[in-house]
Amino acid sequence: MNYKKLKRRLKKPWQPYNFEKIKSQYATLYNIRLKEKKDIIGIRKAGRLAVNLLNHIEEHIKPGITTNYINSLVEEFTKKNHAISAPLNYNGFPKSVCTSINDVICHGIPDDTVLNDGDIVNVDVTPILGGYYADTNKTFFVGSPGKDAKKIVSVARKCLQLGILQVKPKNRIGDIGYAIQRYAESQGCSVVREYVGHGVGFEFHEPPQIPHYGKKGQGIPFVPGMVFTIEPMINLGKHNLHVLSDNWTVVTDDGSLSAQFEQTILVTNNGFEILTPFD
């Protein structure tokens, strides 16, 4: 499935009817801050920067580099483009990007670890540009991937695509999780429960939470102006996990591979717009 085709097919003009009333209701009921046109323009610009940053990093992914090198690429690119890396010092996180290798589910801290041929590495970036946040990540192959690496990356990417297709007014948050969980488990994989998507744009993390598992027809209804991430973490084995002693790095209990893809999504009148559109 091609993201550019999805964007062309489903992007609609963002002009929700009676927006101010809906905005007030969602702020009161759910603490969700709907985005106005000027906000969407700002988040879209941050999203383009985030995608360009991932593309820049992808050019350098190869055996022999360290995750610290990836961090330096992020810092240089972000500074050059007059932006700020949201992860740096966020709740004490020490680097500008999360780099998660093989059985690391998320929040891997860049260090002197060397990428080896056959590894997979997820790179998660969140630039702040003009006061607006956009959040996205991709899992990359390092050198020549093995069978298991190919499978988990393919399943994780498909899970994200299926989740995005559930986004349209009157559908609900649970529809995303249901679609993702159903597909992942049909492929013999599992969905991480403890870490979820989230609202984004004005801040790094905002309401609502977007679980990647769940029941169809449950949860908050989508309305135009909602902006959030969908970022399913999919394990080749079981979904059980633990956090390492650094209090950040999350790994699979059984040592199985884990992969993730993430997009920032806007709910439009008739569907969605991907604000971080990578291939």
Average pLDDT over residues 61-83: 99
What is the arrangement of strands in the sheet containing 136-141, beginning at the earlier edge strand? 98-101, 120-125, 136-141
Express each pLDDT in 163-179 by its tens digit: 999 999 999 999 999 99
pTM of structure:
0.93
Give the integer Cα–Cα distance in Å for 233 and 152.
Answer: 10
The mean pLDDT value for 139-162 works out to 99
Q: For 237-279, write each residue's pLDDT tens digit.
A: 999 999 999 999 999 999 999 999 999 999 999 999 999 999 8
pLDDT recorded at residue 13:
45
Look up residue 187 and give its two tokens: 């492929």
Distance CA 266, CA 70 (A): 28
Size of the chain, expressed as the number of residues it contains: 279
Pairing of strands 104-106, 120-125: unpaired
List the domains of the chain with CATH numbers.
Answer: 3-274 (3.90.230.10)
- Name 32's Cβ contacts closer than 8 Å, sequence gap at least 6: 26, 199, 206, 207, 208, 220, 226
Residue 241 CB partners (closer than 8 Å, separation 6+): 105, 192, 194, 250, 251, 252, 253
Distance CA 278, CA 263 (A): 8
